[in-house]
Amino acid sequence: MFDDINIIRVTASLEPASGSNLVLPPTYEGGAHNLTAPRPDGSSEWASVDSPASFANRVEAALWGAFPGLAPLRVKVAQRDELSTIQMPHRCYDAILRESTLDGVPFPQTPIGQAVRASRSPHVEALFKYDPLVLLFGGWNSTALGERQPGPEAKFAAALSGEITATDVVPAGRAASRIDPLGIEGTATNLVEFADGTLEPYDPAKHDAALEAAENAKPKAEYPRRIKPSEANLGNVTPSIKPKGVRVRGGITLNAMVDLRRLRRYDYGLGDGNEEAVRLLALAGLYGITAVLHDGLDLRRDCSLVPNQAPEVVTLPRGWGEPKPLNRNLKDLSRQLAEQFRRLTPPIAQPVMLTGNAALASLV
């Protein structure tokens, strides 16, 4: 199916589900969006609506929901629900897995853990058996503690990437205000707030001694303290306009791909069946991207997106040649991925359940 293909490319034109041209990109430190520098007319060329890392998380969630067998390594911490490597930021190299045990043995010291962590490109037999999706989404053994072992760290570049961007955008503003239904007014510090969150009306005879003691404490105590009604979210808040969101004058587009060249770098330990492993991971990536689009992208408040036409899926051949359309719906891909999963010999491992250790359990 994919033997003569190097790249699978998915392009989808999106629009806000509300029909508006206002979207809310992710907000980063300082309340800023990821925008290009404004042009002289005040507009902006481009805005990141969903970053590559965030989009990859959505694809992972779709795969975990439909094909949990692709993530055999699981952890249960403090009797909570199980967590799989596909739900961990560093996948099989995650600190959660590092701080877990199998039959009482720390995971890094188990035969499985040692085989997984010893994997280096191109030899990935253990990774493919116990955490195959790390080869699709990428992974890096950056969570080790203590003395580092000699030699290069394990690093595997992602073969799947995708990002949602908006073009020709203009920063927008949003009104912020509060109309108090009780008509509370005043700017005097006539309330006293205590450490347990309770309030009392300020009474000099009752509170001055405690307030003075807090002020003179070394280090100074934060409570009790005198505050204004507005500091307790009481009273009116004067309406103001704050930068929030963008208005899209161009379009919103998802550009995603699965790079089969990267998947073919590896020796999966299947001999002549290595291409079967490549096919499985490529199908997993294409299924995940299609599933995310099929369900619509409910990214965050004021940023629910839907495709406004059928996504364009094309393949780029090995060598050179024109892109060719690849017509597969979600049902077709689900069936093909399930069949490919079953036909693998040797198969991907059955689920392996680990237990979070005492240090991990104490934190949750």
- pLDDT of 160-186, one tens digit each? 999 999 999 988 877 666 777 877 777
Whether 149 has a pLDDT exceeding 80, the answer reads no
Rounded to whole angstroms, the Cα distance separating 230 from 237 reads: 7
Do 19 and 134 sit in the same domain of this protein? yes
For residues 250 and 130, membership in a common domain is answered with: yes
Q: Are residues 225 and 253 in the same domain?
A: no
DSSP H or E stretch at residue 80: none
What average pLDDT is seen over the chain? 89
Residue 146 has what pLDDT? 58
Residues 6+ apart with CB under 8 A from 181: none
Query: For residue 179, is it within any domain?
Result: no
Report the run of H or E that residue 84 belongs to, with start and end: strand 83-84
Residues 141 and 20 in one domain: yes
Q: Select from 278, 289, 340 the least CA-distant residue to 314.
A: 289
Q: Does residue 177 lie in a domain region?
A: no
Q: Is the pLDDT of residue 38 over 80?
A: no
Lowest mean pLDDT among 39-43, 143-147, 245-249: 143-147
Residue-wise pLDDT for 85-113, tens only, equals: 999 999 999 999 999 999 999 999 999 99
What does the pLDDT read at residue 279? 96
Residue 240 in domain: no
Burial class (CB in 10 A: 0-12, 13-18, 19+), 287: buried
Q: In this predicted model, which residue has the larger pLDDT, 320 or 107?
A: 107
Give the CA distances from residue 352 to residues 8, 74, 84, 117, 141, in Å, rounded to whole numbers and listed in that order: 32, 6, 10, 16, 20
- Name the pairing type of β-strands 100-102 and 105-106: antiparallel
Q: Give the per-residue pLDDT at 262.
A: 96
Q: What is the mean pLDDT of residues 105-133?
A: 95
Q: How confident is the model at residue 335 (pLDDT cuts 50, 70, 90)?
A: very high
- In this structure, is residue 239 part of a structural domain? no
9 and 87 co-located in one domain: yes
Considering the domain architecture, whether residues 16 and 133 belong to the same structural domain is answered as: yes
Check whether residue 75 and residue 221 sit in a common domain: no
Residue 141 counted as domain residue: yes
Q: Do 120 and 140 belong to one domain?
A: yes
What pLDDT band is residue 151 in, cutting at 50, 70 and 90?
low
Q: What per-residue confidence (pLDDT) applies to 293?
A: 95
- Assigned domain for 238 exists: no
Residue 241 pLDDT? 66
User: With 70 as the cut, is the pLDDT of residue 271 above it?
Assistant: yes
**Would you state the pLDDT for residue 188?**
79
Q: Average pLDDT for residues 117-129, to the nearest whole number?
A: 95
pTM to 2 decimals? Answer: 0.83
Q: What is the mean pLDDT of residues 299-326?
A: 91
Name the residue range of residue 193's domain. Answer: 185-233
Q: Minimal CA–CA distance to 60: which of 254, 256, 288?
A: 288
Domain count, the chain: 2
- Are 18 and 130 members of one domain? yes
Beta-carbon-side half-sphere exposure of residue 210 (alpha carbons within 13 Å) = 15
Identify whether 70 is part of a domain. Answer: yes
**pLDDT band for position 150 (cuts 50, 70, 90):** low
Question: Residue range 338-363: average pLDDT?
Answer: 92
- Residue 256's SS3 state is strand
335 in the same domain as 193: no
Same domain, 269 and 127: yes
Residues 264-287 have a mean pLDDT of: 95
Q: What's the pLDDT at 107?
A: 95
Residue 45's pLDDT band, with cuts at 50, 70 and 90, is confident
- pLDDT number for residue 23: 92
To which residue do tokens 């045990």 refer? 101
Residue 180 inside a domain? The answer is no
* Three-state DSSP state, 95: helix
Together in a domain, 103 and 196: no
Helices 274-294 and 330-343, axial angle in degrees (round to 10) = 150
State mean pLDDT over 226-238: 81
pLDDT at 240: 65
Instruction: Report the pLDDT averaged over residues 331-348.
Output: 94
